[in-house]
Amino acid sequence: MNFQKRSHIVLGSGALGKAVANCLRDEGVLPRVLNRSGGNVGGWDTIACDARDPAALAAQFDGPVTLYVCSAPSYWLWEREFPALADGILHAAEGRDVHIILADNVYAYGRQSAFREGMAGMPCSRKGKVRKAVADKLMAADGQGLVRTAVVRAATFFGPQVEQSSMGKSVFEAALSGKTAYVIGDPTTAHAFTYVPDLAATMVKVGQHEDGFGHYWHAPSYSGASMQQFLEPIAAMGRHKLKLRSAGPRMLRFLGLFNPMMRELREMLYLHDTPWSFSSELTERRLRVAVTPLTTAIARTVASLRPQATA
């Protein structure tokens, strides 16, 4: 496998897709970024392509290709659209030299106190079952012809341009400006957080090594701090004391009457009310990837928000 001679396609132009594209550029390759609408997104010219359509996706494959799957359907459409996305990717890859690297989360593990590389998935939610089915289906194709597959899992996202996360842009901005930051569940419970550029770097590292495929990896992450502990230094950077308000099951039930995202979050409340840890020791050792120092990761995230947060 020659990493430099393969085509590289990033599926999705959200925070993770752009981070993967930037990481690939730093490695000396210029990827193509696909999304459903096309246009310029965050400095990247994207190509309109609905990956649920195998013919449309296959038309983008010009020889050996590595596909970084960074996209996800709207949260409330997972059961209908995630399987269709997996099917579209697999049908497009049939008979071709395609390496698939899927970005995933911890939903497939279910209710566990510690998430470790190699552990079995035991989903306890509808969305967890969807995530497990999609990851397992793509992994089952590994070694079928020239198709190779790997999955890289992450904890709760944060980082520049991250919005759809419980530690996304709105929470950072609120903490920085002294406003009330709204979080899900118990903010004092031990949690784990993944800096999106570290997830991107891990996905690219997998693509650089033949033995990176056929495995479920964990992106280097910060484990053990609660949401409150995570946000306190961010509020201090804005010279404020952290103000938190938590949304529990009753509030989510009420908000869900008007907001489908809030409605779907109810079944995932266990991840915010019970403590859990996330280990990436095996990934760090075998792939030689490392977590960005937390102070650096937070500073870079805050720097990306400063113009808006202090306006």
12-41 pLDDT tens trace: 999 999 999 999 999 999 999 999 998 888
Q: What is the mean pLDDT of residues 44-59?
A: 95
pLDDT in tens, 239-275: 999 999 988 777 777 777 778 878 888 899 999 999 9
pLDDT of residue 194: 98
Q: Which fold has domain 3-157+192-221+277-291?
A: Rossmann fold (3.40.50)
pLDDT of residue 260: 83
> Residue 115: which of 148, 156, 79, 71 has the closest Cα?
156
> Residue 200: which of 173, 146, 160 has the closest Cα?
160
pLDDT of residue 309: 43
- pLDDT bin (cut points 50, 70, 90) of residue 306 is low
Question: How far is Cα 303 from Cα 247, in angstroms, rounded to an integer?
Answer: 27
pLDDT of residue 1: 63
* pLDDT surpasses 50 at 206: yes
Higher pLDDT, 44 or 88: 88
List the single range of 40-44, 206-210, 301-305 with lowest mean pLDDT. Answer: 40-44
- pLDDT bin (cut points 50, 70, 90) of residue 310 is very low
Question: How far is Cα 302 from Cα 299, in angstroms, rounded to an integer?
Answer: 5
Q: What is the mean pLDDT of residues 206-230?
A: 95
Do residues 34 and 10 lie in contact, with contact meaning Cβ atoms separated by under 8 Å? yes
- pLDDT bin (cut points 50, 70, 90) of residue 111 is very high
**CA–centroid distance for 42 within its chain:** 17
> Residue 20: which of 208, 205, 200 has the closest Cα?
200
- pLDDT bin (cut points 50, 70, 90) of residue 311 is very low
Buried b (16+ CB within 10 A) or exposed e, 129-148: bbbbbbbebbbebbeeeebb
